[in-house]
A = this chain, B = another copy of it.
Amino acid sequence: MTQMEAARAGRITDEMKVVAELEHVDIHHIQSAVAAGEVVILKNRNHTDVRPVGVGKGLRTKVNANIGTSTDCIDVEIEVEKARMAVKVGSDTIMDLSTGGDIEAIRKTIMKKVPIIVGTVPIYQTAIEAIDRKGALIHMMPEGLFSTLEKQAEEGVDFFTVHCGVTRSSIERLQKQGRIMDIVSRGGSFITTWMIANEQENPLYEHFDRLLEIAHAHDVTLSLGDGLRPGSLMDATDRAQVEELIILGELTKRAWEHGVQVMIEGPGHVPLDQIQTNIQMEKRLCCNAPFYVLGPVVTDVAAGYDHITAAIGGAVAAAAGADFLCYVTPGEHLKLPDLEDVRQGVIATRIAAHAGDIAKGYPSARDWDMEISRARKNLDWDNQIKLAIDPERARELRNNSHLKENDVCSMCGEYCAIKLVQESIRVKK
């Protein structure tokens, strides 16, 4: 039984218990939300020694970090380091998006060495194997794709991004409409290229039931990818994007009928004033399936600082109901993340998630701010540092600040507002 089937059967699984405990949420909320598809529990039943992660309604907004090799940089040890960094600074999950080297071996090494929930985009492996072995992506075989999916599910991958909503009709619609950026999703571009060259329907759509069988067998959560997500503010919330979302809503229902857990992936590049609309649309069109968004970045102009453009969009998205934020690193649109990028990306995204959780009233979110504010008021630097979202970085900055007095910060120095007011009130008493 999948978590969803167990929940529907009235069973409370160990995974549900862990999630309920970690989130300080009633176990019956978890059970009924999993049954309804409003919460997913990410954990492949073959993935051992790893803590399940709950994503969805009433739970803390989660954060994912993407890592992985490229053809320009193939070093599994670097990727293991990045995964460890992501865990260290508080990412809830990672996705291994490797496209260079022995993709299978790299993934297995990462999963063996780093105990964290892992997602993949299986078409990467199939497409790249087709390029390596047959000279071109267009020679990829649907059979190869399903065998990759099966192997990865058996290995213990916890969630799959599958671009099932890119169909012949949605590509036609996109072409008819026109766009500034066409397709920017790599998985989406792989599928589209293959579909156009072979004049065939998307196998992930056409044989969706086969995908469901694989997911069902190992309780892999399907993360229905947005292959047509906008890659420019100009393309946001257009007919191509919304058409794909409608298809994903239909597929969600089919997955639920088979007891398969589903999340929906969302954009991408979205102006600030369209974010709430995007969240509301997903919740309506996909029957409240958890929403997993990439950013969104709220401007196209800030390459080099896209962890910030994404933190703005992610915070607003989380406040409006997004459940899971994929990080964006400073180098997005320019280069693969290095270790420091991973740190910056995860922390920026955790800030966004936490700001959203405060706004959407997640029960214990405010307690953290209350505690650190008390420490700040008391000029209790040890606790301020300990409670900071990245204690190591906070300590580093404080230590570099050449203090003359120990109870204040170097920003205000002896003219510390808090200290002044405390003293003047003390004098009056």
Chain A residues packing against B (C-beta within 8 Å): 70-73, 99-100, 124, 127-128, 137, 180-186, 188-190, 192-193, 196-197, 231-234, 271-273, 298-305, 307-309, 311-312, 315-316, 319, 330-336, 347-348, 351-352, 354-356, 358-360, 366, 368-370, 372-374, 376-377, 384, 387-390, 393-394, 396-398, 400-404, 409-415, 417-418, 420-425, 427-428
Determine whether the beta carbon of B348 is less than 8 Å from that of A305: yes
Of all chain B residues, the one with the shortest Cβ separation from A370 is B234
Determine whether the beta carbon of A304 is less than 8 Å from that of B376: no
Q: How far is the CB of A255 from chain B (nearest CB, A)?
A: 26
Of all chain B residues, the one with the shortest Cβ separation from A401 is B335
- Give the interface SS of chain A, mostly helix, strand, loop or mixed: helix
Determine whether the beta carbon of A410 is less than 8 Å from that of B73: yes
> Please, which residues of chain B bring their CB within 8 A of the CB of A73?
402, 410
The answer for the CA separation of A319 and B132 in the assembled complex, in Å, is 48
> Please, which residues of chain B bring their CB within 8 A of the CB of A182?
377, 418, 421-422, 425
Of all chain B residues, the one with the shortest Cβ separation from A298 is B355
Determine whether the beta carbon of B334 is less than 8 Å from that of A394: yes
Determine whether the beta carbon of A377 is less than 8 Å from that of B180: yes
Determine whether the beta carbon of A389 is less than 8 Å from that of B305: yes
> Contacts A197-B424, A234-B373, A272-B359 given; 18 further ones with Cβ under 8 A?
A70-B412, A72-B410, A188-B417, A189-B417, A193-B423, A196-B424, A232-B369, A232-B377, A233-B358, A233-B366, A302-B351, A305-B347, A305-B390, A312-B352, A315-B316, A333-B384, A335-B409, A336-B411
Knowing A301-B368, A301-B388, A366-B234, the reply to whether A312 touches B315 (Cβ < 8 A) is yes
Determine whether the beta carbon of A387 is less than 8 Å from that of B351: no
Of all chain B residues, the one with the shortest Cβ separation from A360 is B273
> Please, which residues of chain B bring their CB within 8 A of the CB of A308?
307-308, 311, 347-348, 351
Of all chain B residues, the one with the shortest Cβ separation from A137 is B420
The answer for the CA separation of A388 and B304 in the assembled complex, in Å, is 8
Of all chain B residues, the one with the shortest Cβ separation from A300 is B369
Knowing A309-B355, A347-B305, A403-B72, the reply to whether A186 touches B417 (Cβ < 8 A) is yes
Determine whether the beta carbon of A299 is less than 8 Å from that of B369: yes
